[in-house]
A and B are shown apart, each in its own frame.
Chain A
């Protein structure tokens, strides 16, 4: 069974930093691209960042470009999101999700598994 478990959320002051992690199990982690997606309180879902299976390709949404860094440790089956220069508008539940990956019998450029999320609150 695929499991994704986020950790690292919490309260941080504006301008501060935080590192989120996502522990993956139940699949060959290095074979899958991974993404971070966030949801501000009472708002919709927003794609944040993508990393390829080998970690050699990364992409970011414009609001976080230059402030967030996605990375992964395939030896530890763990995905990370390093967040710096945090702003109030970064307050959200952050989800890690598997995908988007190449088309197969069970997925095709979509997010096929999601973690339960971790809450990040940026406030003084």
Chain B
């Protein structure tokens, strides 16, 4: 069974930079998994931030960026703002319509 791993929580100071990661329980994450990232605040539907490793979805500020770092996908927030406090989910596409979500990273900005 494929398990996608994310840090359960992270904290960043306002104006600071934070990098959240997305790994595989066995193996490396590559662009071939088309990593995507979603932001969700309580009571709201998820919002697409990043797709295809590093492409920003329409309307997403350029302080959000995606990449592959080592053997993981990464989401970097540069110049964090208070309203970036959310839970961030990584998704890897396994092919044949099957996607696997990571457990999510709850980001605190303080």
In the complex, how many angstroms separate the beta carbon of A107 from the nearest chain B beta carbon?
Answer: 6
Contact A111 B96 (CB under 8 A): no
Q: In the bound complex, what is the Cα–Cα distance between A113 and B47 (angstroms)?
A: 8
Question: Chain A interface mostly helix, strand, loop or mixed?
Answer: loop
Q: Which of B45, B98, B100, B102 has the most CB of A within 10 A?
A: B45
Q: A44 with B34: in contact, given A59-B96, A107-B51 (CB under 8 Å)?
A: no
Task: Please classify how large the interface on chain A is, using the bins under 10, 10 to 19, 20 to 34, 35 or more.
Answer: 20 to 34
A55 CB within 8 Å of chain B: no
- Give a binary string over A39-51; 1 marks a CB under 8 Å from any B CB, 0 the rest: 0000011110011
Mark out the residues of chain A between 28 and 78 whose CB falls within 8 Å of any chain B CB in the assembled complex. Answer: 33, 35, 37, 44-47, 50-52, 57-59, 62
Q: In the bound complex, what is the Cα–Cα distance between A112 and B91 (angstroms)?
A: 12
Q: A114 with B45: in contact, given A106-B58, A107-B51 (CB under 8 Å)?
A: yes
B89 CB within 8 Å of chain A: yes
Q: In the bound complex, what is the Cα–Cα distance between A112 and B1 (angstroms)?
A: 25
In the complex, how many angstroms separate the beta carbon of B40 from the nearest chain A beta carbon?
Answer: 8
